[in-house]
Amino acid sequence: MIHEYRLPREVVEIYEGIKNMSIRGAGKIAKYAVIALMKAAEDFKGSETRDFLKYMEYAGSYIKSARPTAVSLPNAVTYVLTRLRKQNITSVDEGKQVVISLAQEFMKRADEALKVIGELGSRRIENGDVIMTHCHSTAAVSVITTAYKRGKINVVYVKETRPALQGLITAKTLAEEGLEVIMIPDSSVRYFMKKVDKVVVGADTVAANGAVVNKIGTSLVALAAKEARVRFYVATETFKFSPYTLLGELVPIEVRDPREVVDEEWLKENKNVKIFNPVFDVTPPEYVDAIITEKGVIPPQAALLLLIEDYGADLRETGLSAPITWEE
């Protein structure tokens, strides 16, 4: 039962950080999710293996409930817990070591994936290209900074990305790397697209049909790029591909607090105005030129094949508890 388990303070803090967006970005969320599992395992006080496994399942469910849209969160938890189930552990201490080892393995492979994505993505950038990006994506930043270090690009247009202004994080990161960063208002994307050669963005979720769920405003950037015949690339680790969409499930779009858009005083003064604050939108696959992953650069239509390769057999056998796999 839920009331039987008390999670450590570190796990609750990570949960709250993911929920309130002080921990943000799909890749960062995934890493913190497995760190939370590791902290939960280390804190377990019981001596029964069965109790430990139930406790870890509860911890996983709790962590996954923090944010509904970014599939990296449940996928990261699933990576650890599915492999834990398959280990046939014989003691609590052994179980703790397995969880710690799996969490560290996930983080290491995630870091390696970012390096490969940066390498592969930089090959799609040509000398002298001007880049535009949206929101904050570690994978997209990896592509842009790798291309910069190879002398291919100097100028990047970064959208402010309201209401949470994640673009400021990207602008600061790229400027510190040495790039010339031009911050632009979200509403000016069509105006500036004529100055751009390539668009590189990240993803929170990639669906089986190749549609990309990302920070609100991404689809408008893709639309403007399509109109201007500018290449639109999505850089993402494969743990952001959603196995749930293989079974026909829709990706839930998170709606957040109106106070992220306007302040409390304005809300009180304008009670007859309703504020709707969706965090993500969906970019159709036909607006995406390629998805850059650690497994290679694929057309969006190949997302289904990648998902079947990684999840197909396990989904048929065990429902939605399939593990993520990385190929050498």
Q: Does 93 participate in catalysis according to the annotation?
A: no
Catalytic site residue from 93, 129, 186, 204: 204
Q: Does 263 participate in catalysis according to the annotation?
A: no
Catalytic site residue from 129, 135, 310, 314: 135
37 exposure class (CB count in 10 Å sphere: 0-12, 13-18, 19+):
buried
| Active-site annotation, residues | 135, 204
